[in-house]
Amino acid sequence: MRLKNISFEGLKRFVEKFDWLPISEVLNRKSDNRGKKSKFAPVNCFRAFLLGTYLEIEDDTELARRISQHVEYLEFCGVKEAPSHDVLTDFRNNYSHLLKDVFYHVDDLLERMHAFDFDSLSCDGTNINVPIKNKKKPHRYHFGAKSDKEKFHGFWLMLANSVKHQVVREFDVAYAREGQIRICKEMLDCRRIDESEDNFYFFLDGIFDCEEIYDIILRKQGKLPIIGYNKRGSSYEVIEDLPEDNWRFQYNPLLHFPDYIYKIYRLRDSSERVNSHSKSYTLISRIANKVRKCHTILKGVVEHIVTFTFILEQFALLTEYESKLRQKTLCDFF
């Protein structure tokens, strides 16, 4: 949604003056540097894929062709000559494992700019369907089931987003067979997403209503878990019916005030909007197309597309904040 409000020229101006040194250092961590040296640095390939994500081009050959045809695209990538599709494919195959570190770097940068002050986090999972090819066995991905018991074939995308900006701050891609709850536990136990002590709440859907997730959010994330009540296996229909010694109250005393919980729980809708937008209006919507063009699609390819999608959203928010800071400085001057 944020990308609709930013022009290519606005993004290009920001990219040209952005400090690329920290990202270059992240990408240069690749241990195996043997072989022929490329005249295209990893950071230039990174910028090329950032451009491809903005233009919604998922094919490396088409991206290389488009860059070669437009001077402004060459300038965006910081090169004088367009990289070949082989160079881009080599970057995709050998540097994708470092992209999550770039995502974390930009998230930290936004946090230092106070973009996430007075904010909350919301987490939810969404399915990425992969069509089954004719005469191909679906063993690679297997099937998963959504909360409504509907089965699908492909991947889970689990994400935690800023409620205020609806920008993703943590995510994970996993095969459908692994299940939402397991993926959510592993993702939330990986690192603390938001360091601010002034952001109190972490929202989740009722499917994640289990004691282990309550514990991870409070202990690892340092937030109050606001999770929809799920009566599975219980004789209590709603929160108000729970006895005083129910384990949920130990993790979140605010549950003693259900009217307030129901009021703020609406903020969890931000995750549904992020999921819907990502699957409909970004390069993530092209994942099924890639499967139709080839025999299969690897998890690493999906992770590559997803990571660049969310990094581009981060850059869009950075341009927005950079513009606000510049305007504030001018107002202070006059």
SS (H, E, C) 248-307: HHHHCHHHHCHHHHHHHHHHHHHHHHHHHHHHHHCHHHHHHHHHHHCCCCCHHHHHHHHH
pLDDT in tens, 68-119: 999 999 999 999 999 999 999 999 999 999 999 999 999 999 999 999 999 9
Q: For residue 137, name the pLDDT band (cuts at 50, 70, 90).
A: low
Query: Residue 35 half-sphere exposure, CB side, CA atoms within 13 Å?
Result: 6
Mean pLDDT of 25-45: 76
Q: How far is CA 304 from the centre of its chain?
A: 11
Angle at 315 between CA 88 and CA 80, to 5 degrees: 40
Q: How far is CA 115 from the centre of its chain?
A: 17
Query: What is 175-232 written as a DSSP string?
Result: EGGG-HHHHHHHHHTT--S---TT--EEEE-GGG-SHHHHHHIIIII-SEEEE----T
Nearest to residue 67, comparing CAs of 58, 56, 3, 79?
Answer: 79
> CB within 8 A of 295, min separation 6: which ones?
133, 136
What's this model's pTM, rounded to 2 decimal places? 0.90
Determine what percent of the chain is predicted with pLDDT higher than 70: 87
Whether 312 contacts 50, CB under 8 Å: yes
Determine what percent of the chain is predicted with pLDDT higher than 90: 69
pLDDT of residue 135: 55
Phi, psi of 245 (to 5 degrees): -95, 10
pLDDT in tens, 154-167: 899 999 999 999 99
141 or 202, greater pLDDT: 202
Whether 59 contacts 9, CB under 8 Å: no
Instruction: Count Cβ atoms within 10 A of the Cβ of residue 114 and give its class: 0-12 exposed, 13-18 middle, 19 or more buried.
Output: exposed
| Numbers of helices and strands, H then E, in the chain | 14, 6
Write the single-letter amino acid at 15: V
Give the C-alpha separation, 238 to 44, whole Å.
Answer: 54
Q: For residue 282, name the pLDDT band (cuts at 50, 70, 90).
A: confident
Give the C-alpha separation, 135 to 73, whole Å.
Answer: 41
Which secondary structure element, helix H or strand E, spans residue 155, and what is its range?
Answer: strand 151-162
> CB within 8 A of 24, min separation 6: which ones?
41, 42, 43
Q: For residue 332, name the pLDDT band (cuts at 50, 70, 90).
A: very low
Mean pLDDT in the chain?
Answer: 88
pLDDT of residue 315: 95
pLDDT of residue 331: 45
Give the C-alpha separation, 242 to 222, whole Å.
Answer: 25
Lowest-confidence pick of 67-71, 291-295, 312-316: 291-295
Task: List the structure tokens of 285.
Answer: 């919507």
